Homo-oligomer: A and B are copies of this chain.
Amino acid sequence: MSDTAVSVVIAYHSGHGHTTKLAEAVRDGAAGVSGTDAVLISVDALTDDEWARLDAADAIIFGSPTYMGTASPAFHTFAHDTSGRWYRQAWTNKIAAGFTTSGGKSGDKLHTLQYFTVLAAQHGMHWVNLDLLPGQQDSELNRLGGWLGVMAQSPAGQGPEAMAKSDLLTGTHLGQRVAEHAHLLRRARQAA
């Protein structure tokens, strides 16, 4: 990570690989913006170096499967472990965004995204939403019709290879959007 690159960290947990695949798509979108360090960090076994990357990030994108209507226990454990940073408001004014996967088309994924927004709010972060109308075909971006973040769906019992390409591209779109917004804020702070 160079001193001047904008840092986008995708902080995610994956149970069976679907969320990893979506996280990679988000990462690719962010990495495609020139001057961006985009890194994947799995939150279930954070090293000191990874916590340092989170603390230094311009933007953190939260990702998790939706299990029983919310993020996975591993993600919740990570979120709880940020309590000290919350108490110091150490992440204030960072950019935040989110994505989630499940077997159902709606699948209460909105509730997971709402949870991410509440988590970001408690940290005083700025939330970046999708800027996409709902796709009318399964091949189109935002085919499930979400706005607070990216929703992906794949049939129960099938692996990551069965994920819809449009869901992954929606993730790539969000990653790019977050990175561009992070560059905008970086420039503004440098100009100030």
Binding site for B on A (CB under 8 A): 67-73, 76-77, 79-80, 82-83, 86-87, 89, 92-93, 102-111, 114-115, 117-122, 124-134, 136, 143-148, 151, 155-156, 181, 184-185, 187-189, 191-192
**Which of B108, B115, B124, B188 is A70 in contact with, Cβ under 8 Å?**
B115
Q: Which residues of B contact A71 (CB under 8 A)?
A: 76
Output the least CB separation between A134 and chain B (Å): 4
Q: Which residues of B contact A120 (CB under 8 A)?
A: 129
Output the least CB separation between A96 and chain B (Å): 9
- Contact at B69–A115, with CB atoms within 8 Å? yes
Distance in angstroms between the alpha carbons of A184 and B155 in the assembled complex: 36
Q: Which residues of B contact A181 (CB under 8 A)?
A: 126
Chain B, residue nearest A117 (CB): B117
- Contact at A107–B145, with CB atoms within 8 Å? yes
- Contact at A155–B136, with CB atoms within 8 Å? yes
Distance in angstroms between the alpha carbons of A87 and B92 in the assembled complex: 32
Distance in angstroms between the alpha carbons of A169 and B87 in the assembled complex: 21
Q: Which residues of B contact A79 (CB under 8 A)?
A: 68, 70
Q: Which residues of B contact A131 (CB under 8 A)?
A: 89, 92-93, 124
Q: Which residues of B contact A87 (CB under 8 A)?
A: 133
Output the least CB separation between A48 and chain B (Å): 20
Given A131-B92, A184-B188, A185-B188, A68-B119 contact (CB < 8 Å): yes
